[in-house]
Amino acid sequence: MLSGSNYKTWSRLMMLHVVGQEKRGYITGTIPSRCEGDEGFDKWCKEDSMVHGWIVKTMESQFLELFLDIPTAKEMRDAMCYEGAAHCGILDHEVAQDVLDTEASPHSTFTRDYARRKHREVTELTLIRCFISLLDIHVTTYSPLGAASTPWGGNNVLDSNILKEIAQAKGKTFAQFCLRWAHEQGVSVVMKSFNEKRMKQNLEIFDWKLSKDDLEKIEHIPQKRGFPNLDFLSKNGPYRTLEELWNGEGV
């Protein structure tokens, strides 16, 4: 039974059962959904409901309210994958491959749709965390202060009043605050300072933490691509606008 702490084990056992019953396509999407009136709709509806039922029957009661109203087996599994990644740090590489095989943005494939269904606000940072966790990607930041005065960076970080206020309230330098936030996101941080005083300050970020309120404020700071890749745009090429290059995602 899915209890909330055993998602990884549950997911793999469920996949073994579904594959053994030759119904894998109903949760990966390789067997496409059909609308009423389409040829084969009755067969698809029956078999999708069967797979849907297998998943529901292996949930503990507290999860039924979250997932029972999701209409198809694939949408249910996608939603559960999001829950696992967002709340448990669980990786599901089968779904990750399914996401990579789609033409749509990996963000919009399951996370956005499920979030809207639950009326939950999902920030860009949350989407990025879920996606990189899903694919087991480790992130390193080379410009934790925003790379001001460089072609690939800007002053957005240094000019943020929210970040300045939190750093001041913590009694920390602006750089220490930014490094601590990056550290708490689980990313590697590379600094290039040769100033002895600053190098010492950079090491003084491990004996304190940001509060939940601090993290919430940071989460809702508007995001911006540091380097939008304008060089890839051409009126004669496949990408004529930034919207086309980034699949409609914000730039």
What is each CA distance from 62 to 6, 56, 57, 59, 123, in whole angstroms?
Answer: 14, 11, 12, 8, 26
pLDDT digits (tens, 9 = 90+) for 53-91: 888 888 877 677 667 778 888 888 777 765 655 444 433
pLDDT at residue 48 in the model: 93
Given this model, what pLDDT does residue 237 score? Answer: 84
Give the mean pLDDT of the chain.
Answer: 76
Mean pLDDT value across residues 208-235 = 82
pTM for the structure as a whole: 0.52
Could you tell me the pLDDT band of residue 46, with boundaries at 50, 70 and 90? very high
Instruction: Name which of 189, 85, 99 is nearest 129 in CA terms.
Output: 85
Q: For residues 180 and 240, which has the higher predicted lDDT (pLDDT)?
A: 180
More confident residue, 128 or 122: 128
Looking at residue 205, what is its pLDDT? 92
Backbone torsions φ then ψ of 186, nearest 5 degrees: 80, 20
